[in-house]
Amino acid sequence: MNKRKSSIHEHQNAVEELDFSRERQIEELGSLLAARKSWNIDELKELYNTAGGMAKEVEDLEKKRKSISDNLEKQQELKTRIAEIDEQEKQYTSKRRDLIGSLGAQAYRVYRGGILKDESFGKVFAPINKIAEEIRMKESTIQEISGDPQKKNLLQKFSGSTRTGLQKASIVRLEKKRDAELPRIGEDLVRTGLVEDIPDEQVRSVTSAIKHLEEQHEEQLEQKESLQRERQQLSELLEQLIEAGSAEKELKRLDSEITVGGEKLQDHYRQLGRGYIMQPSLEAKVSKEVETVLNRIHELDDQKKLHQDQIHNLQALIEIDELQEGVKKKEEQIARLEKRIAEDRGLVEKTRDELVVDKDRIEELRKVTVDPAEPSGPETEEEVPPASPAPPE
């Protein structure tokens, strides 16, 4: 019996799965019917019109949600690209500063070679020439202080060492100041166009690198400006799409409405599908898509009937087993009762015989015994209650 009950459970699960699949097919059928551009079935026209309206509402909600989601995603993408350009701008500033400094150093090298005769170059290099002259003076002073160490006493050596240290420290500061002038020189040469008049391959190479870097930077700035305009336009469009609150709240609201609307639409599709199935003569000819879905539904119905027939068969077998077990128990009970009745009948007969004996003895004793308390007179017999009738055979 347990095996049969387990089989029934398996068939019931199969029926439930088939019911679920059938509902999905009915829903698909309703969806196909609702998608028709024209409708000529008067009996289901109201369901058709309502389903079409609900589908349009859900579709509009989904489009709006996608527009907001795409807008946010695009804005985030633009923000990332703008941040990348900002980072490249920081690198540009550092790279250009290094190149401009290198240009100044290379141009100064050429200038010291004496081939740049134009006075304009003299004005550009005047500040760094002054620093260079100060450095040469400091170095000359150090040589004078050093002199011949063997001709100096200990005090002179100590004093000279201190002065030399001060001069060297001053030279280091001047060299830093000189190096700081190199980017300014490079900027002046580029700004005035004098760099084009320097006949040196290394200068031309650095100048070309600077121009290429600046062109890239200009392109990046234009790109950044374009991205910022696009982002601003998206932000303005997003404000128009949002009814109230933030974009995140609007998305949650739309998700909720889409879910509720989708469930209602699916239920309406099922109603339309059921109405169509219940009236098979509504259309003389159906489309291939509708016919395919109807065939699936019929196949599911046939499979369900097979499982239900198996369930009924197994339930009948279980009921037969239960009834047979009940019959057996009742037969055993009847046998026990009949045996008890036979035993009771024998006891009744024995008790009746004993009663007759007792009554006869009473009669015998009455004949020979007189009660002194009773008045004299004719003796009356004591009434003896009638015997109980014997149970039926």
pLDDT band for position 205 (50/70/90)? Answer: very high
Cα 274 to chain centroid distance, Å, stands at: 34
Comparing 118 with 326, which gets the higher pLDDT? 326
Distance, in Å, from the CA atom of 392 to the CA atom of 340, rounded to the nearest integer, reads: 14
Asked if the model's pLDDT at residue 239 lies above 80, the reply is: yes
What percent of the chain is helix, strand and coil (3-state, nearest 5)?
85, 0, 15
Residue 155: pLDDT band (50, 70, 90) is: very low
pLDDT band at 374 (very low <50, low <70, confident <90, very high): low
How many Cα neighbours within 13 Å face the side chain of 123?
A: 7
Break the chain into its structural domains and give their ranges. Answer: 1-32+287-367
Tens of pLDDT, residue by residue over 134-146, are 878 877 877 777 6
**pLDDT score recorded for residue 215:** 92
- Residue 162's identity, in one-letter code, is T
Instruction: Kindly tell me the burial class for residue 106, based on how many C-beta atoms sit within 10 Å of its own C-beta (0-12, 13-18, 19 or more).
Output: buried
Look up the pTM and report it.
0.57
* pLDDT tens sequence across 326-364: 999 999 999 999 899 988 888 998 898 889 899 888 988
Out of 124-133, 202-211, 365-374, least confident range: 365-374
Distance (Å, whole) CA 243 – CA 256 = 15
Instruction: For the beta carbon of residue 51, count every other beta carbon within 10 angstroms.
Output: 24
| Arithmetic mean of pLDDT over the chain | 85
Cα-Cα-Cα-Cα torsion 75, 78, 83, 89, nearest 10 degrees, comes to -150
The pLDDT score that the predictor gives to residue 162 is 74
